[in-house]
Amino acid sequence: MKKQICKISFLAIFLGIFCFTNEVFAHNKLIFIHHSTGGYWFANASSTGGGLAKALDDVGIYARDINYQQYNNDFNPPQNPTISNNTDIGHWWLWFADTTMQANGITKRDNVMDGEKGVYKTTNKTNAHGTYTTNMTDPGGENNIIMIKSCYPSANIYSDNSTTFGQMRGQGASYTVGGQNVNTVSNVKALYNSLLEYFKTRTDKMFIISFTPPLLASSTTAERAANTRLVANWLVNEWLQSANWVNKNVYIFDQFNVLTHENNRHTYENGQVIHYTDPASGNYLVYPRSASDNHPSGAGHQKATANFVPLLQHWIATYEAFAAGTTDTTPPANPTGLSVN
């Protein structure tokens, strides 16, 4: 039985009245790992908030999050109490690929992901960057949708230099070796390839990478911004395709694209995935909170929500078909009535 839930909220100021279809998703639990930009995106719709957590709740997806350590109340994986302070692109290696044996005889990755109060088991909720209101009760079981997002500093992607992936893994976006930044195109691609090796082993989970939001022109260079666009397009159009891992358990949301032009989109509409970049689009943030603040505004976050939710519904249907070994990837009928322009 399908149930349409129609809402009128602050989001309507930007997107109009919208309806979500709430159907088969009540058994799904999403945990979102992020820092400040993700916190504002998750927060209730406002001049700074994107309303994402509430929008997920409205379609029956139980949503919780992991933020900086000081804001967490339940996320505390064994041996790694401060891991959540690290969410730049290079840091994801520590979460998903670091197999260093720790003092308890378990690898770092498995402590972080599978440990008590780790990623799969936590019920953590933070309100550090704006309160988010949800109505669903915990359906039980582990988190089965793992969503990660690096904050805007990671949008400074440098052209290749003499640094290596080995020097980049586990490091922040500003880390340098011999005066050269390690956050390069080739190193970033190698990082995502290392994550995919782990994702392939956990087909009981669904992994979503929300690619980094863009920077203001004053906070980067044309070359680095163009490199970030190149990586975003590679993730969407080439990464999983070249690994023969499309429509399985790994998905990409191009938040960089959505926030660099008012007409840019990454969504699901009329039975197809839409990844559109306006020919006039630049590579800089066009929804800033202020002229000097790289955090997206509420309008930008709400546009991202409107694009993302129907896409996620489609991905869940696709993943469930993959997990069941079927070819039926049909999402709920008319999964959303949001305008995503």
Statement: residue 24 has pLDDT above 50: no
Statement: residue 158 has pLDDT above 90: yes
Instruction: At 35, list the tokens.
Output: 């820092």
Each residue of 265-312: pLDDT tens digit? 999 999 999 999 999 999 999 999 999 999 999 999 999 999 999 999
Amino acid at 268: Y
Confidence of residue 324 (pLDDT cuts 50, 70, 90): confident
Confidence of residue 331 (pLDDT cuts 50, 70, 90): low
pTM of the model: 0.90
The H-assigned helical ranges of the chain are: 11-15, 36-42, 52-58, 92-96, 108-114, 165-168, 185-201, 222-234, 240-242, 255-258, 298-324
> How confident is the model at residue 175, as a pLDDT?
98
Q: How far is CA 166 from the centre of its chain?
A: 24
Confidence of residue 329 (pLDDT cuts 50, 70, 90): low
Instruction: Judge whether 75 and 124 are in contact, CB under 8 Å.
Output: yes
Each residue of 87-130: pLDDT tens digit? 999 999 999 999 999 999 999 999 999 999 999 999 999 999 99
CA distance 88 to 154: 6
Domain limits, the chain:
3-324
> How confident is the model at residue 330, as a pLDDT?
58
CA distance 143 to 279: 39
Residues 6+ apart with CB under 8 A from 151: 34, 35, 36, 37, 38, 87, 88, 212, 213
> How confident is the model at residue 146, as a pLDDT?
98
Instruction: At 27, list the tokens.
Output: 């058994």
Q: Which residue has the higher pLDDT, 1 or 213?
A: 213
pLDDT > 90 fraction of the chain, expressed in percent and rounded = 87
